[in-house]
């Protein structure tokens, strides 16, 4: 191992970070060869060494060239492009002469990390591929990764990588070369699917790292397949969204809803279904309150890949209402904090709602058919939440003896009518 000091990285490459197709490595065998990949939730990152920018404006999934770097000159910082404040400062990757490396930036906004991938793995036989997993999807949690044939059922499949912990680089696994379907699930579950992409090519005799990152909604994930010694990469981005249904109809009426032909809920209000994967785009929806078809009350929505949504159905069979809410299932960067929002589905209220935790104001001015911004609250084993309105005497809803766990996301759903409100605390993620 070369000793690390504060001398500047030396590079023989162009100043532009934009990658070009080609192989890793450089012409100077006394240098290490390093590329920089953004697998984080930050929109664009810059790698700087002793005030010299080596890579700038690197977005998720950007290809970058390898740069020749003196192994003794490795003290570095990573910052958000356009910001003078370092997100990760004074780290020193350990490099060796004439070896290839990938410096991977990963993690959510507010908690950026880095991982060095040493590209020194022996190649498999020509009909095999070596793959390992790096889980940088902090918000998604521990994950299982499946590489299967297109029509294989997950229920009958074995994970290529099980229980991939956040921030952990797994050992290599050898698989048959070919074109496969890649699916990622929550650890231990074959139904909580976080990524599902077909047609992913794993060529024979090659070595890959599959880096996972949280998609925009927090729970779904994107992937990037990094081949050793090669500047080109394969993005495996989510092509689906997740949808759930929240029923908050007056009189605790039953809400039934299907999305893309799949019934997500049929139960008395208040009720919130689990999430289901649907293709990005405009979903087909049917809905009933009681036995009355209220599908016409559901507005058209275009769902973005990688995001989570709640279809809110409230009001009554005679006067139905509905709205699409964008959910944010990213987690607090503080392990002792939970995130929480208020959803107002009180039909006929004609005013807004507010939410307090004890004496702390969490949300205010939430209109009917809308959700508040998310607020952070301290974890507690015996908390209280109070919902109020300027047009209602006393609390609209009071919830006591609540357990709020750190590292989770919650929604307070309030529906019904002003005279007979209904509601509950729902754990989202």
Q: Where are the domains of the chain?
A: 32-236, 239-327, 329-429
For residues 73 and 55, the answer to whether their CB atoms sit within 8 Å is no
pLDDT value, residue 282: 98
Joined together, the tokens standing for residue 139 give: 């918000």
Taking CA 396 as the corner, what is the angle to CA 395 and CA 398, rounded to the nearest 5 degrees? 65
Alpha carbon distance, N-terminus to C-terminus of the chain: 43
What confidence tens digit (pLDDT) does each residue in 197-230 have? 999 999 999 999 999 999 999 999 999 999 999 9
Percent of the chain exceeding pLDDT 90 equals: 83
**In sequence order, which residues have a C-beta less than 8 Å from that of residue 305 and are 6 or more positions away?**
215, 237, 238, 239, 240, 241, 280
**In sequence order, which residues have a C-beta less than 8 Å from that of residue 234 and are 6 or more positions away?**
200, 201, 224, 225, 227
For residues 194 and 221, the answer to whether their CB atoms sit within 8 Å is yes
Joined together, the tokens standing for residue 283 give: 């979903």
The pTM of this model reads: 0.91
Does the pLDDT at position 21 exceed 70? Answer: no
Joined together, the tokens standing for residue 4 give: 């690390």
Does the pLDDT at position 4 exceed 70? Answer: no
Domain 239-327 has CATH 2.60.40: yes
Distance from the Cα of residue 370 to its chain's centroid: 23
Pick the CATH number of 329-429 from 2.60.40, 1.20.1250, 3.30.70, 1.25.40: 2.60.40
**Mean pLDDT across the stretch 255-276?**
97
Joined together, the tokens standing for residue 344 give: 């107002």
What confidence tens digit (pLDDT) does each residue in 67-79 have? 888 888 878 899 9
Domains 239-327 and 329-429 share a fold: yes
What CA–CA distances, in Å, run from 315 to 220, 297, 405? 31, 10, 31
């Amino acid at each position: 191992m070369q000793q690390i000091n504060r001398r500047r990285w030396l590079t023989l490459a162009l100043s532009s970070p934009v990658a070009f197709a080609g192989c890793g490595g450089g012409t100077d065998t006394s240098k290490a060869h390093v590329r920089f990949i953004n697998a984080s939730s930050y929109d664009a990152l810059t790698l700087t060494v002793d005030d010299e920018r080596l890579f700038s404006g690197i977005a998720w999934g950007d290809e970058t060239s390898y740069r020749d770097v003196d192994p003794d000159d490795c003290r570095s910082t990573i910052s958000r492009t356009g910001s003078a404040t370092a997100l990760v400062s004074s780290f020193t990757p350990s490099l060796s002469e004439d070896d290839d490396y990938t410096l991977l930036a990963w993690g959510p906004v507010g908690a950026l990390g880095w991982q060095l991938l040493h590209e020194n793995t022996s190649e498999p036989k020509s009909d095999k591929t070596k793959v390992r997993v790096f889980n940088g999807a902090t918000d998604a949690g521990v994950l299982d990764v499946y590489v299967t044939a297109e029509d294989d059922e997950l229920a009958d499949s074995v994970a290529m990588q099980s229980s991939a912990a956040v921030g952990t680089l797994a050992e290599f696994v050898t698989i048959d070369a070919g074109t496969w379907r890649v699916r990622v699930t929550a650890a231990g579950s074959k139904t909580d699917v976080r990524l599902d992409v077909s047609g992913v090519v794993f060529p024979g005799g090659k070595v890959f790292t599959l880096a996972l990152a949280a998609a925009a909604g927090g729970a779904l994930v994107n992937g990037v397949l990094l081949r050793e010694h090669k500047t080109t990469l394969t993005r495996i981005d989510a092509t689906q969204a997740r949808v759930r249904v929240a029923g908050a109809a007056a009189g605790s009426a039953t809400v039934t809803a299907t999305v893309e032909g799949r019934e997500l809920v049929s139960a008395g209000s208040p009720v919130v279904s689990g999430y289901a994967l649907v293709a990005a785009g405009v979903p087909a929806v049917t809905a009933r309150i009681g036995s009355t078809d209220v599908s016409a009350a559901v507005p058209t929505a275009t769902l973005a890949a990688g995001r989570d949504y709640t279809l809110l159905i409230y009001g009554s069979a005679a006067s139905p209402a509905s709205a699409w809410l964008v959910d944010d299932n990213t987690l607090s960067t503080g392990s002792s904090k939970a995130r929480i929002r208020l959803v107002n589905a009180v039909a006929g209220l004609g005013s807004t709602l507010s939410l307090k935790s004890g004496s702390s104001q969490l949300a205010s001015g939430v209109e009917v058919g809308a959700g508040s911004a998310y607020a952070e609250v301290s974890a507690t084993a015996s908390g209280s939440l109070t919902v109020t309105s300027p047009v209602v005497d006393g609390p609209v809803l009071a919830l006591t003896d609540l357990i709020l766990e750190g590292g989770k996301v919650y929604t307070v759903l309030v529906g019904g009518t002003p005279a007979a409100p209904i509601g509950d605390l729902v754990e989202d993620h």
